[in-house]
Structure 1
Amino acid sequence: MIDWFRFQSFGMRSPLFLLLCALSFCSLSSSMIQASATDGGNLKVFVDLQGGEFFPTEGPWNPRAYPRVTVYNAVLGHLVNMTAEGKVVPALLQSWSRNESSKRFSLKLQSNLVFHDGRPVEAEDLRFSLMRHLNSSEETPERANIEDIEEVRILNELEVEVVLKNPNPFFVGRLSMSGLSLVPREHLLEDGLRWKSYPVGAGPYRVVKLDERNLILASTGSFPSAHPDRPKRIHLTSDLSTTDAELVLGSNDLSHGEDLSLEVLNVPARIYAIAFNFRSSLGSSQDFREAVSLVLNRAALAERSSHSRPSTWLIPERLVARDLAPEERMDGARAKQIFEKLGIKSLDIPIYVKDPHPWMVELQGQFEASGVELRFRQANMRLFDPADERSPFWLIGWMPNVADALVIFEIFKDGGPYVANSGLEDAEYLRLLERARSEADPERREQAVRRLAEHFNGVHRVIPLFEEQVAYPRCTRVVRQISDPLQEQSILFHRIQINSAR
């Protein structure tokens, strides 16, 4: 077996090496952690549920369920954490290793882990937590990250072995989603996805109250990566009359005057793109897809979206060399000629928000300049309708996996969540996908992923538009610092530093 930390070749003086040492030391004694923690007080958070619930029962793909990610970060924690540079560091997992083929991984839990109900965590819980999305009949965001798992074997009370169908040197990075963290099976319904009452985990916060508009979390007092001045108690509310929230999630409607600060990080929260529907005659037309690509002014679209920048990549541009990015090819006149040749005067496009976002209105104007009326219709609250044969494309956005960018390309294959996009006969895509999957060497795998991205750009299978950066409004009187909000591009409450001078 190859030891992961030795394989990464960390220098003895590197900040990351020191961080790993610090985390390893802290994990040895939970009593030491608890004794040194000075919980910094209460934090009130307004959450815009958009008419939904904290933990909806409508299914994992429900777009209104996004606050669940931030809450899962707090309650379930993470098996591993990601640094801002995309490095993988321990969390609930103490260590891991892989064999030469990158198809077998040994995962070892921290010792003395306990669920919030008091039950000790065992290796069987880790096995169940890794397999529950695969054993479900539903497509979930987590499933795309782990569907290559063939088997999970229990080695001892703290350790399991994961066997993959294909080699993947970046597999452990895929486990950073909080939805893949430790859960006690007895608190879930038979489908393994929905909770009997509320989430129970081994993370830094436990649920103490839950109703339609309020969710209250309390610090467990012992978590290795928690800030010493972290909030002791967190009150999340969706009450629109709230005026004293110190942090705002999903809405900028609350007014805090000059105390409201918007912090933007150089981390992609979401990549927006046009995904074509190959079940429609237009979506499967290469000429039509070419015309759409010529219409686009990405810079103008990004300007109409908060804290965004234009992008021509399906993967975060910070993961690839800038000089590899394809050039913009705006040519409205040529696009108009193609649209006229195809007899297109209007397009009917579904959107999943009540009102079009400003960048969507800008997109309408760009199509109008090429002689096509872009009409939006409000669709149901699913990711998209796989039976839809009318719409030539959808406007989509996804959170990129900074640990393993191949995840993005896997979701477009047959059987994936974007099944209607998989109807294109594209043998080269399948060849490049299998080539990337077969690479056990990290550098060669990254090169194979870049070739996939270049192919997608070449055939306009999916057209990237822009990257939206991580940003959140906060009240500067109360919240002094929020560190490393990288886990699924959402906030880690236990890394918040409360301002003691408030």
Structure 2
Amino acid sequence: MTTANKLGRRDALKWLGLGGMALSLVGCQSVNAADTIKMGVTGRPRTLDPGRATDALSSRLNRLLYQALIDFNDASQPQPALADWQMLTSTHYQFTLRQPLARFHHDQPLHAQDVVATYQRVLDADFGSPHRGNLRNIASVELDNELQVSFKLHQPDPLFVSRLSLGILPADLIAKGHNFGQSPVGSGPMRFISSNEQGVVLQRQDGIEVQFIVVTDALVRVLKLVRGELDLIQNDLSPELVAYCQQHPALKVAWQAGSNFAYIGMNMSDPLLANPLLRQAIAMGIDRQAIVNAMFKGQARLAGALLPPEHWAGHGGLTGVAYDPDQAAAFISQLRQQQAVPSSGLLPLSFKTSSDPTRIRIATLYQAQLRAVGIDLRIQSYDWGTFYSDIVQGRFQLFSLAWVGIKSPDIFDYVFASHALPPSGANRGRYQSERADELIIKAGQSSDLATQAYYYRALQAHLADDLPVIPLWYENQYVVSAQNILGYQLHSDGRYDSLVQVTKNFTKSA
């Protein structure tokens, strides 16, 4: 049993130095084996099958295990990865594999037939892939030769290439019904070694093992990092723990501007929240910058739209609703006069969040700020599974979540289109807007990216006025690591790609 497991939570805080004890409690640090890098994670990936994965951790590990036809640059524009492409007609794209050919981890070369098999598998309704809807415009995937494959579409789609981010699987194993979720075989920079309740082990091409070790409690993750039982942690710590890590002589913290979009969602089918004055009052009653300063120590930037401004379709002129508690209170009074809300007392509204301590604390800040404008925010926190199920089922008035790793602006069709109600999409707030639908359609039908960007920016401006969700901020990414971890580069979407080349300096220090 480790020291972290033996200590109670209060004693552990004191041991860390958070209870007033000196930071110098830790003396000589243990040194990990030279062939292992250990990363602490909050839980297990749901699946290592790229045809089924949707959660952030699974997607990040799958980037290490598999390669895709395309990747994205810093502006979220598609770039060649495994293949180059040509648009032969508006509904016919041909992809040519780059040489030398990639090789799968079972030592077979990656050919065009593997691409065909991968996409046909996901398009098969019986397989039940969550990615099938995003690829529904594909009429056929055809083998041209060993190096070339053709995608033929039902109708033109200028965003089509950006949809082809699936990890490619070997056709021979697909034909055998191989279970990629439990035993992945890809062509990525790491190969699968093992997986169990304690975590996942991958191996780099240089023989270094990268272990993703499940430690659900944030405090225990930091204890293990201090003890040398972990080498690094990325995100998912409380502000106090991050501040502690920044002061600890054995640790270091690096930051990177983030692109993950945090927001407050609202149930537009709720008779109270259907009123735009109430949505405006809620938005104006929340001091986002004060929360960023208090909870993230300034390590976040205010958001005005789902896409960050550096995205090729981002809207740099949107920064969100300005804090104006006096106007918020005036809107609540106006609603009372219109008899749209109760005529006296605080207006009760339910807010659902996960049981993560940081998210609960942020919710209490919303609660205090909104009370000052006449709203009684009643916080309900649940374990992640219950919370997420309630959101998908529409059992909420208000909630808070984040969209992670968004690259393609077709996310707007998935999140805000009238037809995208769950389970057909992620329009969890039951938003219905003819204007939004019109702009989504016009963007999707535009023949060039410049015109698409114009319509997507107009859509984001409309959403900023209509407020089906309240944009909050883009939280910065951070990594906490031992001092001997070198070369770890953060990315705005939180991917783990730098684990491919990160190194350790094994000079022992006391």
TM exceeding 0.5: yes
Asked if 1 retains the 8 angstrom alpha-carbon contact of 2:279 and 2:467, the reply is yes
Partner deviation per Cα, 1:227-265 (whole Å, 9 max, x = no partner): xxxx72212222557432221134446987323222222
Query: Paired residue for 2:429?
Result: 421
Distance in 2 (CA, whole Å) between partners of 1:137 and 1:279 is 33
Distance in 2 (CA, whole Å) between partners of 1:300 and 1:139 is 44
Q: CA deviation at 1:401?
A: 2.6
Quick check: 1:130 aligned with 2:119? yes
Q: CA deviation at 1:328?
A: 2.0
Query: Paired residue for 1:155?
Result: 144
- Aligned partner letter, 1:332: A
Distance in 1 (CA, whole Å) between partners of 2:132 and 2:398 is 24
Q: CA deviation at 1:398?
A: 0.2
- Aligned partner letter, 2:445: S
TM-score by length of 1: 0.76
Distance 1:157 1:470, change over 3 A: same
Quick check: 1:203 aligned with 2:188? yes
Using the TM superposition, name which of 436-445 and 278-287 deviates more. 278-287
Query: Paired residue for 1:35?
Result: none
Distance in 2 (CA, whole Å) between partners of 1:59 and 1:75 is 9
Using the TM superposition, name which of 291-300 and 458-467 deviates more. 291-300
SS at match of 1:317: coil
Quick check: 1:119 aligned with 2:112? no
Distance in 2 (CA, whole Å) between partners of 1:56 and 1:41 is 29
Match of 1:215 among 200, 203, 214: 200
Distance 1:401 1:386, change over 3 A: closer
Query: Paired residue for 1:360?
Result: 363
- Aligned partner letter, 2:329: A
Match of 1:303 among 283, 293, 296: 293
Query: Paired residue for 1:37?
Result: none
Distance 1:262 1:189, change over 3 A: farther
- Aligned partner letter, 2:425: P
SS at match of 1:430: helix
- Aligned partner letter, 2:316: R
Distance in 1 (CA, whole Å) between partners of 2:62 and 2:48 is 15
Distance in 1 (CA, whole Å) between partners of 2:353 and 2:65 is 32
Distance 1:473 1:422, change over 3 A: same
Query: Paired residue for 1:14?
Result: none
SS at match of 1:318: coil
TM-score by length of 2: 0.75
Quick check: 1:45 aligned with 2:60? no
SS at match of 2:194: strand
Q: CA deviation at 1:58?
A: 13
Distance 1:60 1:182, change over 3 A: closer
Match of 2:400 among 395, 415, 431: 395
Using the TM superposition, name which of 251-260 and 452-461 deviates more. 251-260
Query: Paired residue for 1:109?
Result: 97
- Aligned partner letter, 1:397: A
Asked if 2 retains the 8 angstrom alpha-carbon contact of 1:304 and 1:362, the reply is no
Query: Paired residue for 1:410?
Result: 414
**CA radius of gyration, larger in:** 2
Q: Which has the higher contact order (CA 8 A, sep 6+)?
A: 1
Quick check: 1:184 aligned with 2:178? no
Structure 2: gaps of 5 or more residues: 1-32
Quick check: 1:333 aligned with 2:329? yes
Partner deviation per Cα, 1:381-414 (whole Å, 9 max, x = no partner): 1644367555223212102534x32323433322
Distance in 2 (CA, whole Å) between partners of 1:431 and 1:138 is 33
Match of 2:209 among 233, 239, 262: 233
Partner deviation per Cα, 1:100-151 (whole Å, 9 max, x = no partner): 53x4322222343322123332323213433544445798775565444343
Superposition pairs for residues 377-392 of structure 1, below 5 Å?
377-379=380-382, 381=385, 383-385=388-390, 388=393, 391-392=396-397
Distance 1:136 1:365, change over 3 A: farther
Asked if 1 retains the 8 angstrom alpha-carbon contact of 2:84 and 2:95, the reply is yes
Query: Paired residue for 2:4?
Result: none
- Aligned partner letter, 2:403: W
- Aligned partner letter, 1:84: D
Distance in 2 (CA, whole Å) between partners of 1:309 and 1:438 is 32
Q: CA deviation at 1:312?
A: 1.5
Q: CA deviation at 1:62?
A: 9.4
Using the TM superposition, name which of 118-127 and 163-172 deviates more. 163-172
SS at match of 1:74: helix
Query: Paired residue for 1:278?
Result: 268
Asked if 2 retains the 8 angstrom alpha-carbon contact of 1:94 and 1:108, the reply is yes
Quick check: 1:440 aligned with 2:447? yes
Quick check: 1:82 aligned with 2:72? yes
Distance in 1 (CA, whole Å) between partners of 2:176 and 2:275 is 44
Q: CA deviation at 1:272?
A: 0.9
Distance 1:411 1:336, change over 3 A: closer
Distance in 1 (CA, whole Å) between partners of 2:129 and 2:479 is 26
Using the TM superposition, name which of 109-118 and 437-446 deviates more. 109-118
Query: Paired residue for 1:490?
Result: 495
- Aligned partner letter, 1:365: A
Distance 1:98 1:322, change over 3 A: same
Asked if 1 retains the 8 angstrom alpha-carbon contact of 2:414 and 2:425, the reply is no
Q: CA deviation at 1:152?
A: 2.1
Distance 1:283 1:156, change over 3 A: farther
Q: CA deviation at 1:336?
A: 3.2
Superposition pairs for residues 365-380 of structure 1, below 5 Å?
365-379=368-382
Q: CA deviation at 1:216?
A: 1.9
Partner deviation per Cα, 1:258-294 (whole Å, 9 max, x = no partner): 23222222341x1011222233222333333232222
Distance in 2 (CA, whole Å) between partners of 1:443 and 1:133 is 30
Distance 1:251 1:333, change over 3 A: closer
Using the TM superposition, name which of 440-449 and 363-372 deviates more. 363-372
Quick check: 1:455 aligned with 2:462? yes
Q: CA deviation at 1:432?
A: 0.6
- Aligned partner letter, 1:421: G
Task: Give the percent of matched residue pairs that are identical in Structure 1 and Structure 2.
Answer: 18
Query: Paired residue for 1:472?
Result: 479
SS at match of 2:349: strand
Asked if 2 retains the 8 angstrom alpha-carbon contact of 1:346 and 1:375, the reply is yes
- Aligned partner letter, 2:162: G
SS at match of 1:322: coil
Structure 1: gaps of 5 or more residues: 1-39, 222-230
Quick check: 1:291 aligned with 2:269? no
Asked if 2 retains the 8 angstrom alpha-carbon contact of 1:144 and 1:411, the reply is no
Q: CA deviation at 1:500?
A: 5.0
Distance in 1 (CA, whole Å) between partners of 2:379 and 2:50 is 25
Alignment size in residue pairs: 440
Asked if 1 retains the 8 angstrom alpha-carbon contact of 2:415 and 2:426, the reply is yes
